[in-house]
Amino acid sequence: MYPILGLRLSGGQGAWGTRVGPQVRLHPLGEVVLSPFLEAGMSLNFGGETWSEIDGVRTCADMLLTPVGTVAVGSRWALGRLFFISSRVGWSWRLRQDNVQMRGGGDPDLLTAAALSLFQHEGFVISGSLGVSFF
């Protein structure tokens, strides 16, 4: 029997704070040295804070928990039995919109709104990773 299903848990630090990402990968060719895959998963981005300052006036915003769904295709290259390198391309979309709370209420100013739009997770995804396979 050839293992065709991979479960993956990733983590890291990004523009929207600490994140954890469970994913499922389908390897149609099974356990081979260079294996293409299809992937579906999500990333839980725990948020943080950001601020802007205009003429000495600081505006602060809290970036709230944001789940992001992902789909991707890629390839996994086995480096022996334990380690692997993978690369992928795909698409992601926010599962929660308007996930910002301005301290003191109100809407974000132009500079804060621009920064927040750059931090948001949504759109084209490309990544490379080095991993360890436990099973």
pLDDT score for 58 = 83
Chain segment 4-31, per-residue pLDDT in tens: 998 888 888 888 889 999 999 999 998 8
More confident residue, 85 or 118: 85
Per the DSSP assignment, residues forming a β-bridge with 22 are: 9
Against a cut of 0.85, is the pTM above it? no
- The span from the CA of 87 to the CA of 60, in Å, is 36
Average pLDDT over residues 121-129: 88
Please tell me the least confidently modeled range out of 33-47, 72-86, 89-103.
89-103
Res. 1: pLDDT tops 60? no
Average pLDDT over residues 95-103: 85
